[in-house]
Structure 1
């Protein structure tokens, strides 16, 4: 997690399994009133989320933020697109990178930092099936080595 006193709210565990993360960038989220309350309660799902670029701005799609329990008529659409708050140079750089084949931008973590919801987005390249098996094999070998060293 980035520096600072951020409280981790949600993490996309599947992302590092399915993708190779090339670079990460911290971004703010433009939220409606009850969305931040739901996020603070940990009611957010990043699993199928992705970032698209329109008119020089970045938007987060397919991230599910559950409606707030006490929100009544002020509640929001759980799957609406949300604007990412980043510098223009960062947006331009990420947009340029995604023009390459097989590169996408996905959310990795959501956390609260200084009272604001932040999302850590990663520039990702999709792994092939054999890459995933290789990664799992390497993790298993490291675990066995750690166990063997622990016994001594």
Structure 2
């Protein structure tokens, strides 16, 4: 949540190389205002939040890669090539490291802005990612018209 950020986040955002001042200024102001920002949505399909919770002991597991999910799983009904989106990811069973109960994945999915920003990265395997990144890209500025619609 942006309201929990400290000055390190602002400093990191200021250190980014921006190509244009307007988006830089707008982004920095959003961070400096520290308004709460919901990153999740109550949708059925989407990019799942990669967090599993144990209802028995309160343990939380954050599994950020397919490899981590496979290693932590107690059951992979769809095999190791399982789909990482809902509803398929919900078939993966994770056993709690502390009490051995079956953990439940966080039920919400990430906001569509996350999907838009991560799609290019998610389409690459680890070798392709290492070959192609870091890269430089130009982000178009988004502007909001008087009628409330956003356009590039």
Flag the structure with more relative contact order, 1 or 2, with Cα contacts below 8 A and sequence separation at least 6.
Answer: 1
Shorter-normalised TM range? under 0.3
Identify, as 1 or 2, the structure richer in strand.
1
